[in-house]
Amino acid sequence: MATTDRKAEIRARSAEVFAEKGFDRASIRDVAKATGLSLAGLYYYYKGKEEILFDIQHEAFTTLLEAHAQALAGVRDPEQKLRRVVDAHLAFFASHIAEMKVMSRDGGQLQGDHADQVGELRRRYARVVRGVVDGIRGRADIDTGVATFLLFGMMNWVYTWYDSKRDGTPADIARAVQEIFLSGMRGGAGGSASRPM
């Protein structure tokens, strides 16, 4: 197996361990056991737990940025852009639930250069979504920066309650997020006046 494929497998299994036990409580032996490697074998690929955590988050944010670039290519309508962003975000996390838990809970565990690199990717991603939200002509009394982080709140905590047997498909959840968010931004019944055209 190629090194890149083996590292991808290690990331996936490690994310499951970190998601189940928490990064602090998971040991490097837990990770080795989950990946089917000896400690020496695991250390061939990674220096330790933090490097694995960094790789999980770095890969996830890189993949999200690429997915959003593809989803937004050639789209001009602001609301359609928002729908594409939500679709891409939730489609990724629906197939990477463990990574979603790790990103949401354990981002603060990284130190030094690892924290800086992932922090920059996180900020880049937030800027992409903020740019889409900025394009929506919404209520004048709603700051688009606040609205962006409320949107992230709706999407990022799906893992705490989502059950595909009970709650429908990721596309169903995406549609609900889109409609609730856009309805709120437009003002709905009794909302404040929209920005002038």
Q: What is the pLDDT along the chain (197 residues), one digit of tens a residue?
A: 677 789 999 999 999 999 999 999 999 999 999 999 999 999 999 999 999 999 999 999 999 999 999 999 999 999 999 999 999 999 998 889 899 889 888 878 999 999 999 999 999 999 999 999 999 977 788 899 999 999 999 998 888 888 889 999 999 999 999 999 999 988 754 444 333 33
> Of 21, 20, 18, which is closest to residue 52 (Cα–Cα)?
18
pTM: 0.85
Tokens 């409320």 appear where? 150
What pLDDT score does 190 carry? 40
What pLDDT score does 142 carry? 87
| Domain ranges (residues) in the chain | 50-186
Would you call 194 helix, strand, or coil by DSSP?
Answer: strand
Tokens 């889409």 appear where? 132
What pLDDT score does 13 carry? 96
Q: What is the pLDDT of residues 67-123, one digit of tens each?
A: 999 999 999 999 999 999 999 999 998 889 899 889 888 878 999 999 999 999 999
Helical pair 97-106 and 78-94, crossing angle rounded to 10 deg? 100
Pick the CATH number of 50-186 from 3.40.50.970, 1.10.3720.10, 1.10.357.10, 3.50.50.60: 1.10.357.10
CA distance 150 to 11: 29
Burial of 175 (0-12, 13-18, 19+ CB in 10 A): middle
